[in-house]
Amino acid sequence: MSSSERARGAGRLRVCVVGSGPRFLSGISYYTNRLIHALAEEHQVSAILVRRLLPARLYPGRTRVGTPLTTFTYPPGTRVFDGIDWYWGRSIVNAIRLLASERPQVVIFQWWSGTVLHSFLLLACFARARRARVVIEFHEVLDTGEMALAPVRWYVNGVMPLLRRLTQGFIVHNEFDREALESHYGLEGKPVVIVPHGPYNQYAGGERPERADDGVCQLLYFGVIRPFKGVEDIIAALDSLDDEAAAKFHLTVVGETWEGWTLPAEMIARSRHRDRITFVNRYVADAEVQAFFEQADAAVLPYHRSSASGPLHLAMASGLTVVVSAVGGLVEAAEGYEGRIAIEPQRPDQIALAIQQAWLQRTRRFDDVHTWDRTLERYNEMFAALNASAAG
Q: pLDDT per residue over 113-169, tens digit each?
A: 999 999 999 999 999 999 999 999 999 888 888 988 999 999 999 999 999 999 999
Q: What angle do CA 40, 207, 336 make, to 5 degrees?
A: 65
Residue 23 pLDDT more than 60? yes
pLDDT at 5: 45
Pick the CATH number of 217-360 from 3.40.50.2000, 3.50.50.60, 3.40.30.10, 1.10.3720.10: 3.40.50.2000
Q: Do domains 3-198+371-391 and 217-360 have the same CATH topology?
A: yes
Instruction: Give the model's confidence band at 382: pLDDT under 50 very low, under 70 low, under 90 confident, else very high.
Output: very high
Query: How many whole angstroms separate alpha carbon 171 and alpha carbon 333?
Result: 15
Max CA separation in the chain (angstroms):
68
Selection from 353, 370, 365 nearest residue 321 by Cα: 365
* Closest-CA residue to 83 (of 27, 145, 134, 33): 33
- Is the pLDDT assigned to residue 6 strictly greater than 50? no
pLDDT reported for residue 4: 44
pLDDT at 125: 98
pLDDT bucket at 324, cuts 50 / 70 / 90: very high
Rounded CA-CA distance 33/228 in Å is 26
* Nearest alpha-carbon partner for 180 in 226, 144, 223: 144
Q: Judging by beta carbons within 10 Å of its beta carbon (0-12, 13-18, 19+), is residue 373 exposed, middle or buried?
A: exposed
Confidence of residue 275 (pLDDT cuts 50, 70, 90): very high
Average pLDDT, the chain: 92
Of the chain, the percentage scoring pLDDT greater than 70 comes to 94
Helix (H, G, I), strand (E, B) or coil at 303: coil
Helix or strand holding residue 136 (H, E)? strand 133-138
Q: How confident is residue 306, by pLDDT bands cut at 50, 70 and 90?
A: confident
Average pLDDT over residues 381-392: 80
- pLDDT for the residue numbered 189: 82
Q: pLDDT digit string (tens) for 213-257?
A: 789 999 999 999 999 999 999 999 999 999 999 999 999 999 999
Q: Where are the alpha helices (DSSP H) in 77-167?
A: 90-102, 117-129, 144-147, 150-165
Please compute the mean of the pLDDT values over residues 91-95 and round it to a whole number. Answer: 98
Arithmetic mean of pLDDT, 339-362: 97
d(CA 172, CA 309): 13
Q: How far apart are CA 356 and CA 84, in angstroms?
A: 48
Cα 368 to Cα 387: distance, rounded to the nearest angstrom: 32
pLDDT at 205: 57
In words, the CATH class of domain 3-198+371-391 is: alpha beta
Q: pLDDT > 90: what percent of the chain?
A: 77
**Which stretches within 166-208 are classed as H helix?**
175-184
Q: Which residue has the higher pLDDT, 339 or 202?
A: 339
What local confidence, expressed as pLDDT, does residue 287 receive?
Answer: 86
Question: What is the average per-residue pLDDT within 339-366?
Answer: 96
For residue 315, give the nearest of 330, 298, 303 by alpha carbon.
Answer: 298
Exposure string of 52-81, with b = 16+ CB inside 10 Å and e = fewer, is bbbeeeebebeebbeeebeebeeeeebebb
Q: What is the pLDDT of residue 11?
A: 80
* Domain range summary for the chain, segments of one domain joined by +: 3-198+371-391, 217-360
Amino acid at 37: H
* Cβ neighbours of residue 113 closer than 8 Å, sequence gap 6 or more: 53, 142, 143, 146
